[in-house]
Amino acid sequence: MLNTSQLFPFLISGLAFGAVYAMSGTGLLVLYRTTGVLNFAFGAIGAMGANITWHLIEKTEWCPDWLAYVACVVVSAALTLLYGVVFAPRFANRDPLGKMLGTLAFALILLGLMFNLWRSQDARGFRLPTGTRRFEIFDARVTWTQVVAVLFALLVVGGVTIFLRATKIGTAMRAIANDREISSLLGVPVRRVETAAWLGSGVLCGIVGLLLVDLFGSLDMVLMTWFVIPSLAPVLIGQMRYLWVTFFAAFVIGVVEAELNASNWGWPSQYRKTTAYVFAVGALLWFARKRTIMISGRATR
């Protein structure tokens, strides 16, 4: 039943995935609060970037590895910016669902493109330089990628927190998140701030993509594309507002999922892949307990 020798190694793995959830969650949350768009193409964009990295590493002679990794981040940022600057404004008059559907469409297009461009059946993937080196703690083998992931997540969330509080753009983002119309009336440069949010989220997208390929051990574009769905679980637990709640929830989910893998707890272990979804559904239902009725947009109950 409870196999303690396996708990620790899986804890490491859980923390690493939790870190990825945290970074995705941060990117999704900040973008959503600033622009009102829940970017369902987050995973697909990262996958596209990762595919380009793979292509540059495996299929070209001239490209050094480090440049290929940078390319992932650049491509991801570019694609995200493309959507954010060109397409997202067309949906400005829609509710959050409509805005999200736009990103869903983008994800489908990207997925189709990826299948067409890289249709090889063989298992593909690459390992980051941190992925090939391991060390041991308490009988558990830890790759440096896992460590980097956790550190990076801390850096990202900490950095974003400071950014939101201490910089002009960050403050502007918080203002917009609070009340877009008033902010715009007060002279906050909404478009510029939104662009910054798209850019930042795009960069995170690329970083997450790179880490995922290493942590999963292979480049599975379908898996990566729909990774955005469980990534939403910590965001929902954070009620789509609280950054640090999202951060911690991400790690909890990652660790729970991994620990269910470690020992055989019966059917929860069997269905451990539902962990994030169960958390997500729970959060949505819990926070909806007090029902509100909207009359012309203003909740009155």
Please report whether residue 182 would count as binding another protein according to CB under 8 A: no
User: Which DSSP letter does residue 123 get?
Assistant: -
Cα atoms in the Cβ-side hemisphere of radius 13 Å centred on 45: 34
Please report whether residue 245 would count as binding another protein according to CB under 8 A: no
Q: CA torsion 22→42→82→31, rounded to 10°?
A: -40
Give min distance, CB of 193 to another protein, in A. 21
* Cα-based angle 238, 251, 223 (whole degrees, multiple of 5): 95
By C-beta, is 44 or 75 nearer to another protein?
A: 44
Please report whether residue 108 would count as binding another protein according to CB under 8 A: yes
Please report whether residue 97 would count as binding another protein according to CB under 8 A: yes
Question: Which of 5, 60, 64, 113 touches another protein by CB under 8 A?
Answer: 113
Q: What backbone torsions phi and psi does residue 295 show, to the nearest 5 degrees? A: -115, 120
Report the site for another protein in 246-275 (rule: CB under 8 A): 270-271, 273-274
Interface segment toward another protein; rule CB under 8 A; list 141-149, 167-175, 207-215, 224-232: 224-232
Handedness of CA 7, 12, 17, 23 (dihedral sign): positive
Whole-angstrom distance, CA of residue 246 vs CA of residue 252: 10
Q: Which residue has the tokens 């403050």?
A: 171
The interface mask with another protein, positions 37-76, x = CB under 8 A, is -x--------------------------------------
Strand partners of residue 294: 299
By C-beta, is 74 or 108 nearer to another protein?
A: 108
Q: Rg for the chain (alpha carbons), in Å?
A: 20
Question: Which of 30, 68, 73, 100 touches another protein by CB under 8 A?
Answer: 100
Structural tokens at position 225: 């594309």
Please report whether residue 116 would count as binding another protein according to CB under 8 A: yes
Q: How many residues bind another protein (CB under 8 A)?
A: 53
Give min distance, CB of 105 to another protein, in A. 4
Give min distance, CB of 201 to another protein, in A. 17
What is the per-residue DSSP string for 250-286?
HHHHHHHHHHHHHS--SHHHHTGGGHHHHHHHHHHHH
Q: Which chain residues interact with another protein by CB under 8 A?
A: 38, 87, 90-91, 93-98, 100-102, 104-113, 115-116, 119, 222, 225-226, 229-230, 232-233, 236, 270-271, 273-274, 277-278, 280-281, 284-285, 288-289, 291, 293-296, 300-301
